[in-house]
Structure 1
Amino acid sequence: MAGSNRKERRAAAKKDAKSSAKSSGTEFQPSTEIDEAGVDFLLKHPDRSGPKGKTLFELAEERQRELNKGNPAKANLDEDNTPPGERPFNDEDPIGPFGNAILYSVSLATLHLTLDVVVYSQYREDVIWSEILQRAGKVLPIFFVVVYLLRVEISMRFPTIRNLFFLVVSIAAGCYMIYSGNVNGYFYIMKTAPPIGALWVWSVVEMNLYYALVSVVAVVGYLWWNKFEAF
């Protein structure tokens, strides 16, 4: 009995709420129509005139300057403290020509060793590691000197001449590799292919992209013109 009375009271309360909402005109009425003000709001262009006041970056910069006034030691961190004549630690080439010479010479000597093993395997010869390591050790200081001389500051000042030099070297090395592989005997190829191949790869890596593409096109054209076979 009490439960039914409670349900009746809830139903009556809902009816009273609906009737009061209708009488006051506050009941939400969904509609698909839009008035002229709404159309103007939707078609209004955003304001592209920029910020009217200070931006957050400017406010942060002002705040940082205020903090730096009370702490001069921290303010000096933003200044360039690199001594004259020395390279900054975050420069594009932090290791310098000497470091580049070590890095490139070791990489080229490793490439020379790899090509030596590949040539031996191609002609089904037994790999004599002592001779291969000895030859790689001999070319290591040569690569170091050449890379160092072409990485010093005076060489880097003339990028066009440097690119042209590597372009000539890469074309000559690539064409000679193709010629030697198609004309000379296997013993001669085993001796000359590793150093020339390493020189060819290095010269292509050192060039800018457009010069490298010209080098590749020239070598491929030489291969096609003479009807040689790639090996």
Structure 2
Amino acid sequence: MARKRRDKSPASIKLRHPDRDGPSEKTLLELAEQQGLFDKAQEREAALKPKTSTPGPGVATEEPDALPPIVERIFETLLWTISLSTLHFTLDVLVQNQYAAEISWPKIIGRAGQAFLVFGTLVYTLHTQPSSPNIIPLSLLSARYQPLLRQAIFFLTSVCSGCYLIHISNVYSYLAVMKQAPPIGCLWIWAVIELELPWAVSSLAIAGGFLWWGGYTIK
């Protein structure tokens, strides 16, 4: 027969303090450090990493995934040009509907394609780009005045295109309006967007004053 195990009573268990002495033998960390395993692991990790040259002080480092400046400029130009061409397409359709003209989609698409080429050239040349902040060579104008020149160009473009659009909409025949309003309207909107806020408000105020002074109406 199997004997039943008797549980010891708490009074029969002797109490004593735990052993607070350090380990009598070396630990795994000490053995690894003694064998130089940590140094070997660091050397192994350094050997697996690709060797990169450390730039000197004052040398700008480029991110490996960053696009070249010229590629960024082309992409930004395409973004602006596609947006302006789409706006030209929309304004062209709206003007045709306003005068109840028969819409010829091939002609509208063709004019939008022409606007794409024209605005692409203008945006690439005049739009503010981090890679090319200068609008003309530095030998002709200091970098300090380059942003002011750009703002002056867009300000004059905004004022002239806005006032001219108001004039032709009230004076010229519908055929002239249908032909000139879409590109002039796109040019006006783009110029205002490129301007800083004080310049943009001033150009719109001049256009509003021209509207009031000439006795024109918004059709």
Question: After TM superposition, is the score higher than 0.5?
Answer: yes
Shift of the alpha carbon at 1:90?
9.6
Q: Per-residue CA shift, 1:28-76, capped at 9, x if unaligned?
A: xxxxxxxxxxxxxxxxxxxxxxxxxxxxxxxxxxxxxxxxxx8987xx9
**1:216 equivalent in structure 2:** 204
**1:89 equivalent in structure 2:** 66
Count of residue correspondences: 156
**1:59 equivalent in structure 2:** none
Q: So what's the TM-score if we normalise by structure 2?
A: 0.63
SS of residue matched to 1:120: helix
1:171 is aligned to 2:171: no
1:155 to 121, 131, 135: 135
**Which amino acid is 1:104 matched to?**
W
Q: How many angstroms apart in 1 are the aligned matches of 2:73 and 2:67?
A: 15
Task: Please show how residues 51-200 of structure 1 align to structure 2 within 5 Å.
Answer: 81-82=61-62, 89=66, 96-151=72-127, 153=132, 154-155=134-135, 157=143, 158-200=146-188
Q: How many angstroms apart in 1 are the aligned matches of 2:114 and 2:197?
A: 31
Residues 173 and 196, structure 1, Cα contact 8 Å, conserved in 2:
yes
Residues 88 and 94, structure 1, Cα contact 8 Å, conserved in 2:
no
Shift of the alpha carbon at 1:88?
8.7
SS of residue matched to 1:228: coil
Residues 105 and 143, structure 1, Cα contact 8 Å, conserved in 2:
yes
**1:6 equivalent in structure 2:** none
Q: So what's the TM-score if we normalise by structure 1?
A: 0.60
Q: How many angstroms apart in 2 are the aligned matches of 1:178 and 1:95?
A: 38
Q: How many angstroms apart in 1 are the aligned matches of 2:65 and 2:166?
A: 44
Q: How many angstroms apart in 1 are the aligned matches of 2:73 and 2:161?
A: 24
Q: How many angstroms apart in 2 are the aligned matches of 1:94 and 1:148?
A: 11
Q: How many angstroms apart in 1 are the aligned matches of 2:166 and 2:114?
A: 24
Closer/same/farther in 2, CA of residues 206 and 95 from structure 1, 3 Å limit: farther
Q: How many angstroms apart in 2 are the aligned matches of 1:206 and 1:215?
A: 12
SS of residue matched to 2:135: helix
Report the aligned-residue RMSD.
Answer: 3.0
**2:38 equivalent in structure 1:** none
Unaligned 5+ residue runs, structure 2?
A: 1-41, 137-142
Shift of the alpha carbon at 1:141?
1.1
Q: How many angstroms apart in 2 are the aligned matches of 1:188 and 1:90?
A: 44
**Which amino acid is 1:160 matched to?**
L
Unaligned 5+ residue runs, structure 1?
A: 1-69
Shift of the alpha carbon at 1:205?
0.7
**Which amino acid is 1:165 matched to?**
I
